[in-house]
A and B are shown apart, each in its own frame.
Chain A
């Protein structure tokens, strides 16, 4: 038997149910279709329904005569249409009468084969086409929706956006991206089922909104939702609806959402690109809980173009050594006179066309795409070589701290790689202080703790950077393998003007003492800050009060001073 090829070479024999009371007609259809399909026969409507009910999935198509004893073709069509399972089977009506066609169509028939059965090859082609369309439809309905939320998956969503534009060419549309802030924490702390429930609630609200506005909605990955709707006049109301959908599940539901809107999209842009813009706007307010909505505008477009430029130029910049490492001194202030104790390596990008670029511009960007690892490795190498160079020149060892991003920690050979860098530069791991931001511990949990333990076993010293702005629990802090707590700059900034902030500082000092770790404060600019930090018991100070970050040759001045006593 020849089988129907359903694309990708997938061939299988389909079964066609021929419902026809005349034996001659049955035999002729069997003859026409038998080379390509398995034909089963029912002599009347009742028999057909019985066969269909027994095993509906077996049949790819029903060929239905209208005039039959017992139960006629119209009755069969009505029964098939009513049944949720049967109605997925396409029905072609066999008829010699034009008049019958309208009614059959209304009752759900997809096509007609005229009697007598002229042009058998046309009959075969119609059968084949009908089965193909029906199976494609089944495949589409099985894959177009996200199982968890029932919203469109990304590919289908983008396809439907295209169709939507075709249907409504003159209606201004917004591309919208919605994200749930720190969703992974919801999953981690309340379990996956709870996280799924939150996603479903959000999806339901988005779906209802999209339906009302004659738009469409999609879930593209974990907690990212996209919508394409006529221009939204009051986006706050949409946020209100989303908040309302989860308010019984989560505290502070208003802080849970961020939404990026690319308003009145330019249709000259590719469809995926329009949503990139919405996502870009959405990501621009990541971490800013005061602002749930961001619009993609010209300024943002410039920013995005600038970012794109930076991303494109990284590789070349590394080859051409455009990244330069500056060093900011750290002073131990426990004694009477501040004493140079180490330095922090800070990277700058001396871009040939864009000028000197600060790390707070490019590091967060490169953290998003993993490029930060290449830059960090470059800095580690430079810093290690600098420690060695100073030791060779001055016979002193001045440890340098370097930043280790959470992306670095995910690199499979990170541990060996950074050890290798220290060894080949001719220094020991103890000469490199590794600054790992607090949020890396809280976001990734257990694996990081194990890795940091391994780093310390190899002799590296580990500083917890930005301490105070992450979400460490006290319980977690006690189990963390760290040598130094580095206070977040936000806590230091106002200690001389805010009693409350100073109170916080004392609290954190208590924690540090409990953990028996050294405390470093960065961002110190004023003498009053220094005095208060000293009073609170901070060990090491870094900041403009002593010096801004300097190129290595200028930094040497501090070493020479130290040597001079």
Chain B
């Protein structure tokens, strides 16, 4: 199926700026030091201004002409957006620059009750969005292209009816270069029919390979490959709904059905989902989506469904959802586990644990889950690092020295009394409370990592007060004349 937007650029602009709707306006760009019209709105065109004209000439023809600058690349952007909007009619949409879309609708039309209704639905929707649209359905993209643009009526070409359909169209319907068209025009080819009757060798000699290729493509003798707007993902499931779905149970049922179909496929192929996205096409033309990620590949319907259930609140159904698409964006090969046998296995490789972490990540966020590994730094604040995955094992040994079970994120200043310089304190005051020290260990000197930051080293002492509470305090820098600063950094158990 080919869709043609007769006034793509101007319709797109008028949609964004409604005040332009009732004015004749053109988009112009400078070509060879001359302002030339690139696109003219329907109103301007009817009054005599057309694309390719100089702006000065058009101004003479249309008095109140509004001239706007043309934005390069705008057509591609618009077509991409419209194409994405058409994804709910077929997954295979490709952009056909400069002013059309080509949809591969094999197996889609019957869902809308036949090709005629299908075409009508799409065209009406695009027209109501403000685009002057014509469309045609044919077995080949080439024929549909020509029929959409040049045939006065009969947009639906029956199977095998390509040659009859294009025979009466002008040669321009074959998507040819302007030079070839000029030549054909000069030689008197007003319609395509005589071209079909001439031997191919003669045509090639006269007009080149391009013409033959286009004819073959239009008639379906040669395959034509197009770049898809969104390349189809290998693991995708679609579920159109008869009635728009608005309720949570309805959405849950839809997700479950999609997951059942997808997981069955994944299971047989030994794959597991790492990342999946549920796209919901709403009847107001908008699209909402929710995504999940897992820490380990999974193809368990119940687990994935629970992850999605946590996300359902984020989906705003508004007037209703007419199409659910579930895409597995990232999958990974899974080793097949015999569930019954290994369900009781404890350890970090446990499936139930991975599922638990997925649920937590889905509800609260993945950044709250932390697993620590030793890092080869002595500085206490930097002595641990976050593990990247559940399977990562420590590459260094954990420190042997006693470390407090609770470490203050920022050391707190304390007042200290020591009998002799460089001895452990006899008493310290923290937050106004005196702690007479009964026992002390230390010092343990930890040097500043000079290649990372500058500052004083720390001398750590482990102190125990008379009640038996144990603290980790340090003196920053050397003891020189009462100027040293003392800090409380942690609590031992």
- Our verdict on whether A and B bind, yes or no, reads no
